[in-house]
Amino acid sequence: MAERKNREGQKKYLKTILFSAKADSLFVNLHPFTKFVLFFLLSIAVILAMTKSHPDLVFSLIVFLVVLAFLLESGTLKYVIKSYLSLLFVAFIVFLIWWLIFNQIGNSILFSFHIGNYYFRITKESLYVGVAKVFGYAAMAFLTLLILMTTRDVDIVDALNQLKVPFKQTFFISLIFRSLNIMEEDLESIRHAQFARGGKASKKNPLSRIKEFLALSIPLTALMIKRAVEMGSALEARGFSKSKKLSEPVVKKRIRTADYVALILSAFALYTSITMNVTNVLGGQIWTSLL
């Protein structure tokens, strides 16, 4: 695999839990604690905005757009578009249709139809609530992706160390990340090997496809056992079993001004969601009066 640094030798991208993100972007440099609290506060805010008696469409939309802006700023939006957009788009459309069918609230009918004895109607009110919920869920889904795409596994481990979680526990978590990383790379090679032997080329019935998938487990299991043994030896060779208290890490991620700003803004978002309906404040009474 090509080195992920630019040709001048500076590192433009950082490998994160999911894909990579711009090394100098705002979200990448936030402390994992900040991201955790921000995620927690914003999620509650969005849930509240969606579930109140008058769902706050504008609030959900604003959070959604802000998250999109951060995805763009961190250079991760392209991965969302490439890998998840079609999936998320279909999911939200299905969700909206489901909502409209089973939550027929209000009387301002946009259109209606019969299927046998069943009478369905799409109202302005249900459409409004449905759209608000779709944006709310989209904001949360995209926020989750933003966090995963801008956080390095090593940052999580370091954060746990800062929380004084015992070294052996944090190292175990780190080892899980590393094992998953090795497994991912092995799996990539194995899939390539399977392809090279015609594994995916021929048209097959579902049973053969399952068999083919199971075939992957043979090399993967054998490799993981071998690697686990080798990793055990490597750990011993570094003196892991004799480790007691570790000295300070060389680099510690600190809480900076940007972290405080992010925390204040997310607390403010929660406060807003609890205390007001932004849609109404911005003159959206026409919509809410329908409810």
Partner 1 sequence: MDEPVVELRNIKWHYPNFGGMKSNFLMENFNLTVYRNEFLGITGATGSGKSTLCQLIAGLIPHQIKLPYGKANEYFDGEVIVLGNVVSKLEKKGNEYIISGKGAMAPEVGLVMQDPESQFLTMSALNELSLGLQIMGLPKDEIVKRIKEALEMVGLEDLYELIDRLHPSELSGGQKQRLVIASFLAMRPKVLILDEPTSDLDSAGKIEVIEAISRLREKGDITVILVEHDPEILKKFIDRLVVLHEGKILAIDKPENIFSDPGLSKYIEVSEIETIFKNDEDLVKQIDLEAARVYRPSRRLEKSGGPALEVRDLKYEYPDGSRALNGVNLTVNKGEFIALIGQNGSGKSTFSKVISGYLTKWEGEVKIFGKDISEKKVRVSIPEIVGYVFQNPDHQIFNRRVDEEIAYGLKNIGMKEEEIKERVDETLKRVGLSNKKQEDPLFLSRGEKRRLALASVIAMKPEILIVDEPTTGQDYRMSREIMEILLELNREGSTIIVITHDMRLVAEYCRRIVVMKRGRLIFDGTPEKLFENEELLKESSLLPPKAVQISKKLKESGIMQDLLLSAKEWLDFLKFENEKKRYVLLSFDSMKFYAKKLSEEILKKYGKPDIIIYIERGGMVIARLISDYIGVKDMLSIRASYYTDEGVPSTHVTLGSFDYNLDDVRNYILLVDDIADTGKTLQAVLDKIKKLTTKPVYVCTVAFKPHSEVKPDIFAYTVDNDTWVVFEYEEQETKRAFQKRNNEIGLKFMEEAFGKQGNKYK
**Two tokens at 267?**
């607390």
In whole angstroms, how far apart are CA 164 and each of 34, 158, 168, 230, 234?
Answer: 17, 10, 11, 29, 25
Footprint of partner 1 on 95-124 (CB under 8 A): none
5 is a contact residue toward partner 1 (CB under 8 A): yes
We find the least distance from the C-beta atom of residue 267 to partner 1, in angstroms, to be 30
Footprint of partner 1 on 73-92 (CB under 8 A): 75, 78-79, 82
Footprint of partner 1 on 9-48 (CB under 8 A): 9-15, 19-20, 23
We find the least distance from the C-beta atom of residue 21 to partner 1, in angstroms, to be 9
Burial 161-172 (b: 16+ CB within 10 A, else e): bbeeeebeebbe
Footprint of partner 1 on 223-252 (CB under 8 A): 223, 226-227, 230-251
**Two tokens at 153?**
């596994």
| 94 or 193: CB nearest partner 1 | 193
| 47 or 258: CB nearest partner 1 | 258
* Helices then strands, each counted (H, E), the chain: 11, 4
We find the least distance from the C-beta atom of residue 7 to partner 1, in angstroms, to be 8
Interface mask (CB under 8 A) for partner 1, residues 171-200, using x and -?
A: ---xx-xx--xx--xx--xx-xxxxxxxxx
Among 37, 84, 153, 288, indicate the residue that binds partner 1 (CB under 8 A). 153
We find the least distance from the C-beta atom of residue 52 to partner 1, in angstroms, to be 39
How many binding residues for partner 1 (CB under 8 A)? 75
152 is a contact residue toward partner 1 (CB under 8 A): yes
Question: CA-to-CA distance for 76 and 146, rounded, in angstroms?
Answer: 8
| 102 or 184: CB nearest partner 1 | 184
For every residue of 101-165, which 3-state class applies, written as one string?
HHCCCCCCEEEEEEECCEEEEEEHHHHHHHHHHHHHHHHHHHHHHHHHHHCCHHHHHHHHHHCCC
133 is a contact residue toward partner 1 (CB under 8 A): no
CA–centroid distance for 138 within its chain: 11
- Residue 60, number of CB atoms within 10 A of its CB: 27
Amino acid at 264: I
Interface mask (CB under 8 A) for partner 1, residues 205-224, using x and -?
A: ----------xx-xx--xx-
We find the least distance from the C-beta atom of residue 204 to partner 1, in angstroms, to be 9
We find the least distance from the C-beta atom of residue 45 to partner 1, in angstroms, to be 31
| 237 or 286: CB nearest partner 1 | 237
- Residue 96, number of CB atoms within 10 A of its CB: 17
| C-beta of residue 135 within 8 angstroms of C-beta of residue 99 | no
We find the least distance from the C-beta atom of residue 134 to partner 1, in angstroms, to be 27
Q: Does the CA dihedral 285-287-288-291 come out positive or negative?
A: positive
| 109 or 200: CB nearest partner 1 | 200
Question: CA-to-CA distance for 208 and 200, rounded, in angstroms?
Answer: 10
